């Protein structure tokens, strides 16, 4: 059984942030053997972030806050609010614009190693074997 607190994550290097934009508490990683990563991500009010996870799929559940999700291929804008889920099942290029601080529970597959940060495309690196 795995039980972790955010303080555990901070002490063991499983907490990442880009000050003024986002923070990511990474509760489950590849080393845990679950096959996926579970994070709690906070996107700071006023932040705008363009991403495309070329090497992962991701599902997200908004727990707190509001903002917009824009599909950068179609231009479709989706309103995000508590209780809204979105999944990036086709490596979708997208942008998040946070109106307020947003707390999001995220699941990544394949699992993250832990120290990943977004590259110039807004992607995480290819998972290594």
The 3-state DSSP class for residue 9 equals helix
Residue 127 lies in a domain: no
Digit-coded pLDDT (tens) for 4-20: 999 999 999 899 888 99
Residue 52 lies in a domain: yes
Residue 55 is predicted with a pLDDT of 84
Mean pLDDT calculated for residue range 101-112: 94
Residue 123 lies in a domain: no
Percent of the chain whose predicted confidence (pLDDT) is above 90? 75
Residue 4 lies in a domain: no
The answer to whether the CB of 26 falls within 8 A of the CB of 14 is yes
Residue 98 lies in a domain: yes
Provide the domain limits for residue 106.
38-113
Residue 42's contacts (CB-CB under 8 Å, 6 or more residues apart) are: 22, 23, 24, 101, 102, 103, 104
**Sign of torsion, CA 61 78 100 109?**
positive
How many domains does the chain divide into? 1
Residue 101 lies in a domain: yes
Digit-coded pLDDT (tens) for 34-51: 999 999 999 999 999 999
The DSSP output letter for 45 is: T
pTM of the model: 0.87
Residue 18 lies in a domain: no
CA distance 129 to 23: 26
- Does the pLDDT of residue 127 top 80, yes or no? no
Chain-wide mean pLDDT for the chain?
Answer: 90
Residue 56 lies in a domain: yes
Provide the CB-side half-sphere exposure for 9 (13 A, CA). 21
Distances (CA, A) of 70 to 61, 79, 96, 121: 16, 9, 7, 16
The answer to whether the CB of 24 falls within 8 A of the CB of 16 is yes
The pLDDT-based confidence of 120 (bands split at 50, 70, 90) is: low
Mean pLDDT calculated for residue range 73-95: 96
Residue 53 is predicted with a pLDDT of 84
- Does the pLDDT of residue 32 top 70, yes or no? yes
Residue 129 is predicted with a pLDDT of 46
């Amino acid at each position: 059984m795995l039980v972790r607190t955010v303080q555990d994550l901070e002490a063991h290097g499983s907490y990442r942030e880009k000050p003024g934009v986002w923070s990511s508490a990474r509760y489950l990683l590849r080393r845990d053997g679950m096959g996926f990563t579970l994070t709690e991500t906070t996107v700071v009010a006023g932040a705008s972030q363009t991403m495309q996870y070329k090497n992962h799929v991701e599902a997200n559940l908004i727990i707190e806050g509001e903002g917009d999700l824009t599909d950068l291929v179609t231009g479709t804008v989706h309103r995000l609010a508590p209780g809204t889920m979105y999944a990036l099942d086709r490596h979708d290029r997208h942008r998040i614009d946070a109106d307020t601080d947003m707390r999001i529970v995220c699941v990544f597959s394949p699992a993250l190693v832990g120290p990943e940060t977004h590259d110039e495309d807004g992607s995480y690196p290819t998972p290594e074997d």
